[in-house]
Every structure is written in structure tokens, then in C-alpha cells.
């Protein structure tokens, strides 16, 4: 047995490294691997790190490094030896994508996080931040959702495979902390939107899907936009660059293996969201709700008191953030 820096005994596997667990200020010359840097979350983290003066950033596209490939991930960590890891890579999508590609969402996300987390342990990464999702919580969890509500009830069936994979990632980080002393933390962001979002007509999340739908209806002069469900479910939305700011803040200040929520602490109904986006896009038609389609979880509001107590608060108001996201969509749309 070996005593970790925080005094807890841990078992060290042969030919492996003891992960450091202590408060670590991220030095500007640290090698930082941002897994998933081309996605909405990863690209926001990349922009934040660059703005703060970090220039030893390790970046690989999925074509350059398939994170589902165990040997490829092992070779990458052995060659590059990152000091810190932001694990933002994942297979993601909205209700339809999650419910249609259930095996893919479970298998691929398990493979990605298992490979990266294990190699971070194997190669002595100083600290790893794992990004989960608010869908890990029970479908009927009390509101607002506290971190301790994890695994206290049944999940929303439509995205259960993705949620199970993310729960496994949280538990894996905690297990490596408990057994090997690794400083691996897990953060649970609420629903996200922002620059570089996914606007796929079938596989996107609700906010970017609505931006695209209203824009295309406006362009085509359609008299009506149909939205899935009743419009009554309530959702919380966080601008991705605010999430990136929170992630860097927690990488520098938070060393607890217990997960922590990241959000705004406020929500609105899907109907109110739709009418807000309708106004921002300047669509003049009507909105109809297709009540034969599923609503998903009735409400998902995160309790962010733990994060607020540490001193972090979001700064981007929803209307301002949607305007920036719509401008980004227009730039992408014009480039296609």
C-alpha cells in the first residue's frame, strides 16, 4: 500500500503511476489535452484557454485520433504526456438521435471515456475534468436537481443509454480517485447552446433545432412551424462559453471527486423558448405544438448552489446568447 498526498491509502498497480491529488494551479506552460476540441463544448474550452494564454494545447480531430480505439489512445498519451485533460469528447444528440441510435450512444461514449480516463491514470495526468450531462439525473427528480439525487430514481427512457454511459464516467472518475488517488473531477452542465452548435435537422438539441426551424420557415415563407410535444416542459440553458469559463475555474479550484452541477439556476418552458427564438429570428408565422410527439423529461433545473458557493456565476443572458448563436448559425448557413 502507498499513502496518497491526501493521506488515503491506495493500491498501486504494477507499471502504473500514482495520480497526484492536491490543489494544482494550472501553469501556463502545462500541456493540456482538450478532447473533442471541434465540438461546441470543446471549442469553447479551447477558446477560453487560448484567451488565458495557454499555448501548449494538445488537439486531435477524430480522424487523427479515434478515441474509441484503445490502442490509439494509449499511444497518444504515451507520446504526448499531457499534464491536464478536459474530456469533452462524446457522441451527442437530441431526443430523436438518442432514442434511435441507442446502442451507438451507449457503446461509443463508454469506449471514449474508458480509454481516456484509464490512460490519464496510466500516464500520470495531474488532473482530468470529465463532462457529463444533466440527463444523468432521474426523470422525476425533485426540482431544482441537487448533485446527491444521482441514482435515486428511473431515468428518462429516450436518452437512457447516453445517461448510463455518463453515469459510468462519473463513477469511473470517482473509482480512480478512491483506488489510485487520481484527481479526476466530474461536472454536470445543463442544456447548452452557442457557437459551433449542431444544427442537424434531426439530430440536434431543442434550442439549435428551433433556431434552424424558424430560420428555414422564415426563408421559405412558411405560415406555420410545428414543434414536438406540448411545449410545457421546462428547460435551463447555458451559453457554452460560460460553461468553458466554469470548467477552467473548476480545473483550477475544485479537487473533490463528488460531481458538481454547472448551470444558470433559472429555466423556462419550451413554448416560451420557442416564442423567444421566433422573435429573435423575426419569423412572422404561427407556432403549433404536436402533442402526439414525446415531451421528454418534464423539468430539468439544476441546483447550482454548490458552484455559486465557490464563487462562479454565469454572465450571458439567454436572449443575448441566442442572438449570438443565431449570428453564428447564419455564418455557418451562408458558408454551406
- List, for the chain, all residue ranges whose pLDDT scores fall below the cut of 70: 1-25, 334-336
Inside any domain, residue 122:
yes
Inside any domain, residue 128:
yes
- For the chain, helix, strand, coil in percent to 5 are 45, 15, 40
Q: Known catalytic residues?
A: 162
Question: Would you say 34 and 86 are in contact if contact means Cβ atoms under 8 Å apart?
Answer: yes
Inside any domain, residue 121:
yes
pTM of the model: 0.89
Domain count, the chain: 1
42 is in an annotated binding site: yes
- The cell for 280 is 429573435
pLDDT at residue 107 in the model = 98
Look up the CATH number of the domain holding residue 103.
Answer: 3.40.50.720
Inside any domain, residue 118:
yes
299 is in an annotated binding site: no
Inside any domain, residue 170:
yes
Inside any domain, residue 278:
no
Question: Would you say 109 and 66 are in contact if contact means Cβ atoms under 8 Å apart?
Answer: no
261 is in an annotated binding site: no
191 is in an annotated binding site: yes
Give the residue numbers spanning the domain of 7: 2-194+238-264+302-316
265 — alpha (psi -120 to 50), left (phi > 0) or beta?
left
Inside any domain, residue 276:
no
pLDDT at residue 27 in the model = 87
Inside any domain, residue 205:
no
pLDDT at residue 36 in the model = 97
pLDDT at residue 232 in the model = 97
40 is in an annotated binding site: yes
39 is in an annotated binding site: yes
pLDDT at residue 144 in the model = 97
The DSSP result for 37-91, as a single string, is: TTSHHHHHHHHHHHHTT---EE---TTT--TT-HHHHHHHHHHH--SEEEE----
Residue in the block written with cell 433559472: 266
192 is in an annotated binding site: yes
327 — alpha (psi -120 to 50), left (phi > 0) or beta?
alpha
> How far lies 312's CA from each of 145, 176, 189, 291, in Å?
18, 27, 14, 38
189 is in an annotated binding site: yes
The DSSP result for 251-319, as a single string, is: HHH---SS-EEES-S--EEHHHHHHHHHHHHT--SEEEEETTS---SSEE-B--HHHHHHT------HH
pLDDT at residue 25 in the model = 64
Amino acid at each position: 500500500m502507498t499513502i496518497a498526498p491526501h493521506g488515503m491509502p491506495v493500491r498501486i498497480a504494477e507499471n502504473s503511476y500514482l495520480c497526484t491529488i492536491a490543489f494544482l494551479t494550472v501553469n501556463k506552460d502545462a500541456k493540456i489535452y482538450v478532447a473533442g476540441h471541434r465540438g461546441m463544448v470543446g471549442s469553447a474550452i479551447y477558446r477560453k484557454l487560448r484567451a488565458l494564454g495557454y499555448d501548449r494545447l494538445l488537439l486531435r480531430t477524430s480522424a487523427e485520433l479515434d478515441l474509441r480505439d484503445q490502442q490509439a489512445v494509449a499511444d497518444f498519451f504515451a507520446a504526448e504526456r499531457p499534464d491536464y485533460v478536459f474530456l469533452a469528447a462524446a457522441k451527442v444528440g437530441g431526443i430523436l438521435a438518442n432514442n434511435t441510435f441507442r446502442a451507438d450512444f451507449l457503446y461509443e461514449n463508454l469506449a471514449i471515456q474508458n480509454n481516456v480516463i484509464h490512460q490519464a491514470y496510466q500516464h500520470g495526468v495531474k488532473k482530468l475534468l470529465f463532462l457529463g450531462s444533466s440527463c444523468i439525473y432521474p426523470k422525476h427528480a425533485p426540482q431544482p436537481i441537487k448533485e446527491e439525487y444521482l441514482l435515486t430514481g428511473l431515468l428518462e427512457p429516450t436518452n437512457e443509454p447516453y445517461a448510463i454511459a455518463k453515469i459510468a464516467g462519473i463513477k469511473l472518475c470517482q473509482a480512480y480517485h478512491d483506488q489510485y488517488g487520481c484527481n479526476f473531477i466530474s461536472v454536470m452542465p445543463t442544456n447548452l447552446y452557442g457557437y459551433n452548435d449542431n444544427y442537424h435537422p434531426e439530430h440536434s438539441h431543442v434550442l439549435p433545432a428551433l433556431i434552424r426551424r424558424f430560420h428555414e420557415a422564415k426563408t421559405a415563407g412558411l405560415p406555420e412551424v410545428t414543434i414536438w410535444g406540448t411545449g410545457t416542459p421546462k428547460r435551463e440553458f447555458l451559453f457554452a462559453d460560460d460553461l468553458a469559463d466554469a470548467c477552467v475555474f473548476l480545473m483550477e479550484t475544485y479537487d473533490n471527486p463528488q460531481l458538481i452541477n454547472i448551470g444558470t439556476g433559472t429555466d423556462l418552458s419550451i413554448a416560451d423558448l420557442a416564442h423567444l427564438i421566433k422573435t429573435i429570428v423575426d419569423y412572422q408565422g404561427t407556432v403549433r405544438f404536436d402533442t402526439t410527439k414525446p415531451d421528454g423529461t418534464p423539468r430539468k433545473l439544476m441546483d447550482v448552489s454548490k458552484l455559486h458557493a465557490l464563487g462562479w456565476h454565469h454572465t450571458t443572458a439567454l436572449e443575448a446568447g441566442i442572438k449570438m448563436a443565431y449570428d453564428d448559425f447564419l455564418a455557418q448557413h451562408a458558408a454551406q
